Amino acid sequence: MSTMMNPLMLELEDQAVIARAADAGFRLAQYETDQGHSVWEWRHGSDPRPQFVTRRVAVHWMAEFLERQAGLPFVAREGQAYEERPRSAA
């Protein structure tokens, strides 16, 4: 049996990631290249700007980026917004 994702839930999760990225100083922007292609990119000062063909992939990338930076998942597959993980001993 296939599970369909609720488009509204996906959009809410996307907006949560975009808001968290904004708190970290990132801005998601869409623009057209000189060749006429639509591109999404994350802007953060003069840092390199990762570019994506779709907004969905850009948001997914940022969610993973934020998770790596904080060590905590932002949106769990089970629907939790935050999950506490034990710190590993160094």
For residue range 23-54, what is the model confidence (pLDDT) as tens digits? 999 999 999 989 999 999 999 988 888 899 99
Distance CA 29, CA 41 (A): 5
pLDDT at 2: 45
**Lookup: tokens for 13:** 């999760």
- Confidence band of 8 (pLDDT split at 50, 70, 90): confident
**Lookup: tokens for 45:** 């000062």
In a domain? residue 41: yes
In this model, does residue 15 exceed pLDDT 80?
yes
In this model, does residue 5 exceed pLDDT 90?
no
In a domain? residue 21: no
pTM above 0.75, yes or no: no
In a domain? residue 11: no
In a domain? residue 64: yes
In a domain? residue 19: no
Domain that holds residue 53: 28-82
In a domain? residue 58: yes
Q: How many of the other CB atoms lie within 10 Å of CB of 21?
A: 21
CA nearest neighbour of 40 among 48, 63, 83, 32: 32
Residues 76, 18: contact at Cβ < 8 Å? Answer: no
Domain count of the chain? 1
